Chain A
Amino acid sequence: EAQVTQNPRYLITVTGKKLTVTCSQNMNHEYMSWYRQDPGLGLRQIYYSMNVEVTDKGDVPEGYKVSRKEKRNFPLILESPSPNQTSLYFCASSLTSRNEQFFGPGTRLTVL
């Protein structure tokens, strides 16, 4: 089944404890992206990747890192999480940047 998977789906952590949210797609898509979604603000892009080893900042990259060493994986890293990073996170992928995006199921992160 063609899909985007994210892990974990739910995570409660404490300020300053490094964490990684994994994202993987099995559709051979070139383009991948991370978003956060907060009430009333809509989806905001954190980072995106046009292809392997190519990543760029989105609208809200502060406090996040990403890597794209393989086509299928695009992990999101929070080196020192803070409470303002409590949010619902979505990974998405598309064939290219010009095509519709397919979303993972979301990761609900709470930073205490």
Chain B
Amino acid sequence: GQNIDQPTEMTATEGAIVQINCTYQTSGFNGLFWYQQHAGEAPTFLSYNVLDGLEEKGRFSSFLSRSKGYSYLLLKELQMKDSASYLCAVKGSNYQLIWGAGTKLIIKP
């Protein structure tokens, strides 16, 4: 079967760094996406990885290892507004997205 795992909830301190992990088992791989979703709002696109390695975009970075079926999202210099759920999604062989259940990130002052 197809499966995406990510921690249910994480807590971090304002100004710190946090890493949110995502592991996946899918039939085929055509890219991995990270989305941010604030409570009650729509998901918004953060990053896309299709090749192994690190993609950096401001305070956010995303890493992919296809051989390990593993990705992480790294958030630096955490701000209170980063409190949200972070969704990992993989495009399978038919180019449809398979979604993880999301990681709720709580930022404490």
Q: Chain A residues in contact with chain B, CB under 8 A?
A: 40-45, 48, 58, 90, 97-98, 100-106
> Given the complex of chains A and B, what is the CA–CA distance between A105 and B102 in angstroms?
18
23 A-B pairs with CB atoms under 8 Å apart are A42-B87, A42-B102, A43-B43, A43-B87, A43-B89, A43-B99, A44-B99, A45-B97, A48-B96, A58-B96, A97-B95, A98-B30, A98-B95, A100-B33, A100-B45, A100-B48, A101-B97, A102-B45, A103-B43, A103-B44, A104-B42, A105-B42, A106-B42
B interface: dominant SS? loop
Q: Which of A42, A48, A90, A105 has the most CB of B within 10 A?
A: A42
User: Smallest Cβ distance from A36 to chain B, in angstroms?
Assistant: 11
> Given the complex of chains A and B, what is the CA–CA distance between A58 and B44 in angstroms?
21
CB-CB under 8 A from B40, the residues of chain A are 106
Chain B residues 27-65 with CB under 8 Å of chain A are 30-31, 33, 40-45, 48
In the complex, besides A43-B97, A98-B30, 20 extra interface pairs with C-beta distance below 8 angstroms are A41-B101, A42-B87, A42-B102, A43-B89, A43-B99, A45-B97, A90-B42, A90-B43, A97-B95, A98-B31, A98-B91, A98-B95, A100-B33, A100-B45, A101-B45, A103-B43, A105-B41, A105-B42, A106-B41, A106-B42
> Given the complex of chains A and B, what is the CA–CA distance between A105 and B37 in angstroms?
11
> Given the complex of chains A and B, what is the CA–CA distance between A98 and B97 in angstroms?
10
Q: Mark B80-101, 1 if CB is under 8 A from A, else 0.
A: 0000000101010001110111
Chain B's closest residue to A102 (CB) is B45
User: Smallest Cβ distance from A35 to chain B, in angstroms?
Assistant: 8
> Given the complex of chains A and B, what is the CA–CA distance between A58 and B96 in angstroms?
8
